């Protein structure tokens, strides 16, 4: 990285990579302080929405040196978009982070239309944003993370063979739930911050129903925000209510859900005192403290 960015994102490399599906991604790799894979290999924590999230999450790798509550070592891999596509990360994430076949909620369309009416976005931008949702391919993006990107990270950074994590926020949180529901054993823990379950007919409910009483062994930590639930925006109210409904249905299927910051079962949850926009960093810290504490 350039000298300017190195000062902000210490111990961080950047490269670009094309997926087997033909999409280009930007990848930031942040290694732990004094990381020496020859002495001790660290697992990977994949963080979604890298163009937005890397600046708020990668510096928190210093929590691994916190004497008051240290976090188990991990290599953070933040995944976003590269080149000219980086300017359009907000709409491209709809393609990659949303499960295939996910319905588009009316409240979500209304929120996008309100952006056009207020001048926050153009008609062309709004149409392109919604178009990505009509052919969402979260399945392909999950394959990219585990089958394309991870072998390169493992080879170039000498990471551990197991113990990996995944963190996503908003639609990234929806993707995290989708990844958890696939019952993949690739991730040891998954953080889903304010998961974008805007529609009550979301694919995550259907997948949870089909799963029956046997839940994945992978740890799952779900957070949502107080001001989403208590605010006056329907899209965020629905998101928070549906996240709570998802957790309730987990308990009905023999899920051990713990409210708080100490993990005592496969599924934990916490309420953040934030808005949807300001909640990302708090949610990531909650995931680290709950699922990756020493």
Please state the rounded mean pLDDT for residues 1-22.
Answer: 80
Let me know the angle formed at the C-alpha of 290 by 171 and 46, rounded to the nearest 5 degrees: 45
> Per-residue pLDDT for 166 more than 90?
yes
Q: Which residues pair with 28 in a beta bridge?
A: 14, 78
For the cut 60, the answer to whether the pLDDT of residue 262 exceeds it is: no
**pLDDT above 70: residue 46:** yes
| CA–CA separation, 101 and 91 (whole Å) | 17
Least confidently predicted of 53-57, 73-77, 182-186: 182-186
| pLDDT on residue 110 | 75
Q: What is the four-CA torsion angle of 184, 190, 194, 197, rounded to 10 degrees?
A: 10
Q: How far apart are CA 174 and CA 171, in angstroms?
A: 5
CB 205 within 8 A of CB 246: yes
Number of neighbours of residue 247 by Cβ within 10 angstroms: 18
Terminal C-alpha separation, the chain = 31
- For the chain, which residues make up each domain, given as ranges? 3-291
Confidence of residue 261 (pLDDT cuts 50, 70, 90): very low
Report the side by side order of strands in the sheet with 24-30: 12-18, 24-30, 75-80, 44-47, 164-169, 187-193, 219-225, 267-272, 257-259
In this model, does residue 146 exceed pLDDT 80? yes
Question: Which architecture characterizes domain 3-291 according to CATH?
Answer: 3-Layer(aba) Sandwich (3.40)
The pair of structure tokens assigned to 220 is: 């799952």
Backbone angles phi, psi at 40, to 5 degrees: -160, 120
Which of 45-59, 121-135, 162-176 has the least mean pLDDT?
121-135
């Amino acid at each position: 990285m350039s000298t300017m960015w190195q000062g902000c994102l210490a111990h961080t490399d950047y490269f670009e990579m094309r997926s087997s599906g033909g999409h280009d991604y930007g990848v930031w790799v942040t290694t732990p302080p004094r990381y020496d894979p020859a002495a001790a290999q660290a697992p990977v924590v994949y963080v979604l929405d890298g163009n937005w999230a890397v600046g708020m999450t990668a510096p928190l790798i210093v929590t691994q040196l916190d004497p008051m509550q240290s976090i188990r070592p991990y290599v953070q891999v933040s995944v976003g978009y590269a080149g000219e596509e980086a300017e359009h990360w907000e709409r491209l994430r709809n393609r990659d982070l949303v499960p295939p076949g996910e319905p588009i909620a009316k409240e979500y369309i209304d929120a996008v239309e309100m952006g056009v009416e207020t001048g926050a976005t153009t008609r062309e931008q709004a149409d392109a944003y919604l178009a990505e949702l009509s052919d969402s391919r979260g399945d392909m993006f999950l394959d990219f993370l585990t089958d394309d990107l991870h072998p390169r990270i493992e080879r170039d950074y000498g990471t551990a063979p197991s113990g990996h994590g995944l963190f996503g926020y908003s639609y990234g949180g929806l993707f995290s739930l989708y990844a958890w529901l696939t019952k993949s054993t690739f991730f040891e823990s998954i953080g889903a911050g304010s998961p974008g379950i805007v529609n009550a007919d979301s694919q995550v409910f259907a997948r949870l129903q089909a799963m029956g009483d046997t839940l994945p062994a992978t740890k799952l930590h779900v957070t949502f925000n107080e001001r989403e639930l208590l605010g006056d925006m329907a899209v965020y109210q629905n998101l928070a209510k549906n996240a709570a409904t998802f957790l309730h249905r987990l308990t009905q299927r023999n899920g051990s859900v713990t409210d708080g910051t100490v993990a005592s079962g496969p599924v934990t949850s916490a309420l953040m005192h934030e808005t949807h926009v300001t909640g990302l960093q708090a949610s990531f810290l909650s995931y680290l403290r709950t699922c990756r504490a020493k």
